[in-house]
Amino acid sequence: MDFLEWQKRLSILLSVGGLILLSFTGRLYQKTVIEHGQTVEEAESQYAYRKEVEGQRGEIVVAQDDKSYFPLATNERRYQVLVVPKNIKDRKQTAEKLASLIGMTEQEVYDKINNDKLYIPPLKKRLTREVADRIAQLRLRGVVLLPELVRVYPEQTLAAQVLGFVNGEGKGNYGIEGALDLTLRGASGYQTGEKDSHGRLINVGDEVKAQDGSTVVLSIDREIQHYAEQALADAIKEYQADSGSVVIMNPKTGGIVALANAPTYNPNEFNKVASDQSAVYQNPSLSSVWEPGSIMKPIVMALAVDKGLVEPETQETFAASVKVLNHTIWTAEKKAFGLETMTQVLENSDNVGMVWIANKLGNNGEYDGLKQFGIGTAPDMNLSNVVGGFMPGLKNWNDLTRATISFGQGVSTTPLQMAIAYSALANKGVMMQPYLVEKVIDEKGVLTETQPKELGRVVSETTSEKLGRMLEAVVVNGHGKHAAVPGYRVGGKTGTAQVVKPEGGYYDDRHIGSFAGYFPLTDPQFVMVVKIDNPKATKFAESSAAPTFGRIANWILSYKQILPDKPMQ
C-alpha cells in the first residue's frame, strides 16, 4: 500500500470517526441542553429516594386521674396487602396462600390478581401485625405489605356520637373528629436520599419532620359516660322505646360530663352502618329537637318567681281546663287540682296553673326570660350540628303561644339546651357556657385550656334556691318520686311530651318521656336530662325517664363518693 492509499484510508477513517463523534456530541447536546429537565428527571427517578412520613393524628382523650389520660380515639399501625400481578410467578398458589389470611375466598383473590397489571388497589387494608407477619413469612413474590396508621377507638361504642370517626381518606367526620379535624390532623414530612441499582439506600439527604396533630382532652367522664350508656340501653329495652338520650353537665363549669345516646354504633366499624341508618352518626343530644313538654315548667316558674309575681307558697284555685282564644287547654289527666300552691303546680304538673303564671308574665316577660335561658338559640360550642330548636319570634306570639309554651308545647329544644337551662337554676342563677373540649395539647406540649365562662345571670340566687326546693318537692311529693336517691336531696321535673305529626297536630299513640334535674341539692354538682323516645311499655315519664334518672344519679353519687346531704329514712 503506497502512501497515498494509506492517506486516503486514514481520511475516510477520520471522517467516519468525526461523524460518529459529531452524532455523539449532537445526542449529548440534545440530552443535556434541549431535554435537560426530562433527562435530570429520568436520572433522579433511578437514584433519588424520597419517603413521605405521615404525621400522626392527635388522640382524643379523657382524664383518667390527675396525671394521666385514657384515649377514646388513637392510632394503630396496621398493614395493607399490595399485589403487583405482573411480578407474580404462580397466581393460583399465591391466591391459595393469601386467601385464608386476609379473609377472602381463593377465587376472589385469584380474580383480582389474574392479570398483568403493575398496580391494582390493595387487596386488604387494616390487617393486624400478626396477620402481616404471617403473610411476610410466606415470602410471596409480587406481594408487598405496606404499613399504614389507622384510627382506632379502644372503648368501641363508648361516646361514639361524641367522637365521630375518620373515613378511609383520613378525614374526620361527625363529632369531635369532624369538628376539630384540622387540629387533630398532623402534617406530613419527607426524607430524601440516594439509592443504588438494587434500591438500597446509599446516602441520606434532606429531611422535613412530620408534625403530629394535637391531642384533644374532653370533659367527658369515662365511667359516668359508660354507666349512662348502659342505663339508657337498659331503659330502652325495658320500656320498649325507640331511642333515647342522656346529658349530664357540671353546672358550676359548664363542662359536659356525659352525652349518651341510643341507638349508637361502633366507630371502628363505621362503614358497616347501613346507608339508611346513617342518622345514627348524628348526636341527638345536640341536634335532635323535640317539644320538651312539662320540663319547661320550672323555667317559666323561675321567671315568675324572679320577677316577684309569685312565691312558692302563693295559692290559687285551678280548674281542669282553661280557655285561651278559641282553644281549651286541659290538665294532663283532665283533672281539676283546685287550690294549689305554686310548688304544687309543679308537683302536679298542672298545665292550667302554668297558663295562669304565663298570663302574669305576659308575652314580653316570658319570651325575654326564655331567651335568656337559651331557648331558641343554638349553644355556642364550636361543634358542628349543634342546633338551637325553635321558639317563635315575639311578633308571632299571642295568648295561645304564651300559654302553650309555658308547659313546653309550641317550642322545641334539644336535650343539651334543657341541661344548660337547668344548669343555670342549679348554679345559683348563673348560666355557664357549655363545653366538651377541656384542653388542646399540641405536639410541643403547649396547652390551650378552656376556661369556664359565665354567660350571665338569668335569675337571682334567691330564686335559684326557691326553685331548688320546689323541684325537690316534685321528687318527694310529685311525679318525680322514682328519681329520688335515698340519702340525697334531688330536684327535678318530669315531662311527658306529645309527638308532633309532620302534617300538624299530635300523635295519639306516641310520646316522649323526659326528666330534668340536679343533685345533690345542697351543693349541686350534676345536672342531668334523660329523654326516652316513644316508650311503649309505659305512658308517663314518671315511670320511664324518672327511674332512669334516679338509677344514674344513685350510681354517680356512689362513684364520686359524695356524702349524703339528707338523713336516711
Partner 1 sequence: MIPVTYGATTVNSRINRPGRAAARIGFFSVRMIGFLMLAILALLYIAQSSQATTKRLDVQSTRQQADLLTTEEDQLRLEAKRLQSLDTISQSATTLQLEPVQSVEFLSPAGSN
Asked if 155 interacts with partner 1 (CB under 8 A), we say yes
Closest distance of CB 137 from partner 1, Å: 18
Q: Which of 77, 86, 141, 469 binds partner 1 (CB under 8 A)?
A: 77
Q: Which of residues 467-486 bind partner 1 (CB under 8 A)?
A: 486
Q: Which of 60, 158, 437, 458 binds partner 1 (CB under 8 A)?
A: 158
Of residues 445, 435, 383, the one with CA closest to residue 214:
445
Q: How far apart are CA 239 and CA 533, in angstroms?
A: 10
Q: What are the C-alpha distances in Å from 425 to residues 181, 468, 521, 525?
A: 35, 8, 11, 12
CA-angle at 427, arms to 426 and 432, nearest 5°? 115
Closest distance of CB 163 from partner 1, Å: 14
Closest distance of CB 30 from partner 1, Å: 32
Identity of the residue, 159 or 386, whose beta carbon is nearer to partner 1 in the bound complex: 159
Neighbours of 203 (CB within 10 A): 11
Q: Which of 167, 384, 498, 522 binds partner 1 (CB under 8 A)?
A: 522
- Binding region for partner 1 (CB under 8 A) out of 30-38, 328-336, 467-475, 559-567: 559-567
CA-angle at 437, arms to 53 and 243, nearest 5°? 105
- Which segments of 148-217 does DSSP mark as H helices, in order? 160-163, 175-179, 181-184
Closest distance of CB 134 from partner 1, Å: 16
Assess contact for 161 and 97: CB atoms under 8 A: no
Assess contact for 58 and 202: CB atoms under 8 A: no
> What type of residue sits at position 439?
K
Identity of the residue, 101 or 152, whose beta carbon is nearer to partner 1 in the bound complex: 152
Q: What is the DSSP letter of 543?
A: G
Q: How far apart are CA 503 and CA 497, in angstroms?
A: 17
Q: Which of 38, 156, 188, 462 binds partner 1 (CB under 8 A)?
A: 156
Identity of the residue, 151 or 402, whose beta carbon is nearer to partner 1 in the bound complex: 151
Asked if 71 interacts with partner 1 (CB under 8 A), we say yes
Assess contact for 491 and 565: CB atoms under 8 A: no
Closest distance of CB 548 from partner 1, Å: 16
Asked if 558 interacts with partner 1 (CB under 8 A), we say yes
Asked if 113 interacts with partner 1 (CB under 8 A), we say no
Closest distance of CB 557 from partner 1, Å: 8
Closest distance of CB 429 from partner 1, Å: 23
Closest distance of CB 76 from partner 1, Å: 6
Q: What is the DSSP letter of 154?
A: T
Q: How far apart are CA 345 and CA 236, in angstroms?
A: 29
- Binding region for partner 1 (CB under 8 A) out of 201-209, 322-330, 360-368, 420-428: 201-209
Closest distance of CB 156 from partner 1, Å: 6
Identity of the residue, 451 or 569, whose beta carbon is nearer to partner 1 in the bound complex: 569
Asked if 452 interacts with partner 1 (CB under 8 A), we say no
- Which segments of 387-479 does DSSP mark as H helices, in order? 399-406, 415-426, 461-477
Closest distance of CB 203 from partner 1, Å: 5
Q: How far apart are CA 545 and CA 481, in angstroms?
A: 11
- Binding region for partner 1 (CB under 8 A) out of 39-47, 88-96, 220-228, 424-432: 220-228
Interface mask (CB under 8 A) for partner 1, residues 410-449, using x and -? ----------------------------------------
Asked if 266 interacts with partner 1 (CB under 8 A), we say no
Q: How far apart are CA 405 and CA 401, in angstroms?
A: 6
Is 563 exposed, middle or buried (CB count within 10 Å of its CB: 0-12, 13-18, 19+)? exposed
Assess contact for 483 and 514: CB atoms under 8 A: no
Asked if 202 interacts with partner 1 (CB under 8 A), we say yes
Asked if 208 interacts with partner 1 (CB under 8 A), we say no
Asked if 525 interacts with partner 1 (CB under 8 A), we say no
Identity of the residue, 32 or 156, whose beta carbon is nearer to partner 1 in the bound complex: 156
Of residues 186, 251, 217, the one with CA closest to residue 438:
217
- Residue with the three cell numbers 388513637: 74
Q: Which of residues 369-398 bind partner 1 (CB under 8 A)?
A: none
Q: How far apart are CA 519 and CA 546, in angstroms?
A: 14
Identity of the residue, 36 or 129, whose beta carbon is nearer to partner 1 in the bound complex: 129
Asked if 269 interacts with partner 1 (CB under 8 A), we say no
- What is the rounded end-to-end Cα distance, in angstroms, of the chain? 136
What's the grid cell of residue 186? 398532623
> What type of residue sits at position 306?
D
Asked if 110 interacts with partner 1 (CB under 8 A), we say no
Asked if 70 interacts with partner 1 (CB under 8 A), we say yes
Of residues 63, 384, 77, 386, the one with CA closest to residue 216:
63
Closest distance of CB 452 from partner 1, Å: 24
SS3 242: coil
Asked if 154 interacts with partner 1 (CB under 8 A), we say yes
Asked if 76 interacts with partner 1 (CB under 8 A), we say yes
Q: Which of 50, 117, 129, 536 binds partner 1 (CB under 8 A)?
A: 129
- Binding region for partner 1 (CB under 8 A) out of 3-11, 218-226, 289-297, 306-314: 218-226
Assess contact for 305 and 466: CB atoms under 8 A: yes
Q: Which of 274, 339, 446, 563 binds partner 1 (CB under 8 A)?
A: 563
Q: Which of 223, 316, 368, 380 binds partner 1 (CB under 8 A)?
A: 223
Chain-centroid distance of CA 537 in Å reads: 30
Q: What are the C-alpha distances in Å from 310 to residues 314, 341, 347, 352, 460?
A: 6, 10, 16, 15, 14
Residues that bind partner 1 (CB under 8 A): 70-71, 74-77, 129, 152, 154-156, 158, 193, 201-204, 222-223, 226, 486-487, 522, 558, 561, 563-568
